[in-house]
Amino acid sequence: MPFADELARDQRSARKGRTRTAPQRCGEGEPGHKSRAGSCFFLATFCVPFPRRDFPPYPGSSPSPGMSESVGGGQIPRPGPPCSPPYVNRFAGIATLKAVSEWPASDRVRVRRQPDRGHYDREAIDAVFDAGLIAHVAFVEGRQPICIPTLYARVGDDVDIHGSRASRTLRALAGGVPACLTVTVVDGLVLARSVFEHSANYRSALVLGSFRVIEGEDERLAAYEAFVEKVVPGRWSEARRPNAKELKATEILAVRLDEASAKVRSGPPSDDDSVDAALDVWAGVLPLAWRFGDPVPSPGLRDGIPVPASVTRLLDKNGGSA
């Protein structure tokens, strides 16, 4: 049963009379302890010390419903006001919100189950978004939750999606409905001695927010290019650019990574130290890696057109025949 290790922890917590697990923090002087400026868990591989962000209240605003003022002995900082106008630095390769934080931007994105697997620093969150290929974007239409798979690209502080202006999803999101976009990379299956402890190694990231419409011809063209380049680096200069009609038919939306989280599981099954370790049952990890296969030319491709450099690069990086 996947994620049984999370269930098992829940059950252990419940037996101890705890139904919710606050983020576990290393105490002063304990092994692995770092100051608040640092990181307690293996997050250290992702982030460098950075002061905790304590934001003043927004002018004229109040905390979000459900946002906790104090959790696990520490204050959860409110998300800060936007650091810059939305489009500044979008394509400069410099993230304007490159904040490194072990604290969630809000209580809504605080990882409760296995909190040590939660990451809130932009390095970790960006790494997951950059590793994935497909996102699922969820929103509510009327009273019906909808969750739609889509290509996406992280562009600086934004995650961009694009599609037909006629798309129900794009139209709804362009209208500013609250949305949730999630990306998952599965790194392996975790086989334990007991079926209950079976799990998966994964990296996933999620952003909450409302999408905004990318407007203005130059901005839209730049967003189009950034999107294509993120999905297939180098393809923009190989393929025909969108003409005015195609650009007009395409909706490009972006959501800022203001309220996001990442969750990562890695490593072996968790029953090495349990009584089950005495069983004659194989336990370990079955790594899972995706790769591109051999390119399949379009049936109508004219003779003499070679596989382009963008494809060759992708294959060099992540390809090969079985």
Ligand X SMILES: Cc1cc2nc3c(=O)[nH]c(=O)nc-3n(C[C@H](O)[C@H](O)[C@H](O)COP(=O)(O)OP(=O)(O)OC[C@H]3O[C@@H](n4cnc5c(N)ncnc54)[C@H](O)[C@@H]3O)c2cc1C
Residues engaged in binding ligand X (CB under 6 A): 134, 146, 148-151, 162-164, 167-169
CA 35 remoteness from chain centre:
26
State the minimum distance, in angstroms, from the CB of residue 134 to ligand X.
5
State the minimum distance, in angstroms, from the CB of residue 172 to ligand X.
8
The residue of the chain with the least Cβ separation from ligand X equals 163
State the minimum distance, in angstroms, from the CB of residue 310 to ligand X.
18
CA–CA gap between residue 96 and residue 108 (Å, rounded): 22
State the minimum distance, in angstroms, from the CB of residue 212 to ligand X.
17
Q: Which is nearer to ligand X, 77 or 242 (CB)?
A: 242
CA distances from 86 to 122, 152, 257, 263, 292 (A): 17, 18, 11, 27, 35
* Angular region, 320: left φ>0, alpha ψ -120 to 50, beta rest: left
116 C-beta neighbours (distance < 10 Å), count: 16
State the minimum distance, in angstroms, from the CB of residue 133 to ligand X.
8
State the minimum distance, in angstroms, from the CB of residue 148 to ligand X.
5
Q: Which is nearer to ligand X, 43 or 207 (CB)?
A: 207
Half-sphere exposure of 124 (CA within 13 A, CB side): 29
State the minimum distance, in angstroms, from the CB of residue 297 to ligand X.
21
Q: Which is nearer to ligand X, 41 or 224 (CB)?
A: 224
- Measured in degrees and rounded to the nearest 5, phi and psi for residue 90 equal -55, -35
Helix (H) and strand (E) counts in the chain: 6, 13
Q: Which is nearer to ligand X, 164 or 266 (CB)?
A: 164
Q: Which is nearer to ligand X, 43 or 183 (CB)?
A: 183
Q: Which is nearer to ligand X, 169 or 261 (CB)?
A: 169
CA–CA gap between residue 115 and residue 104 (Å, rounded): 11
Tokens 């079926």 belong to residue: 195
CA distances from 63 to 29, 43, 66, 78, 102 (A): 34, 28, 8, 8, 20
CB 294 within 8 A of CB 204: no
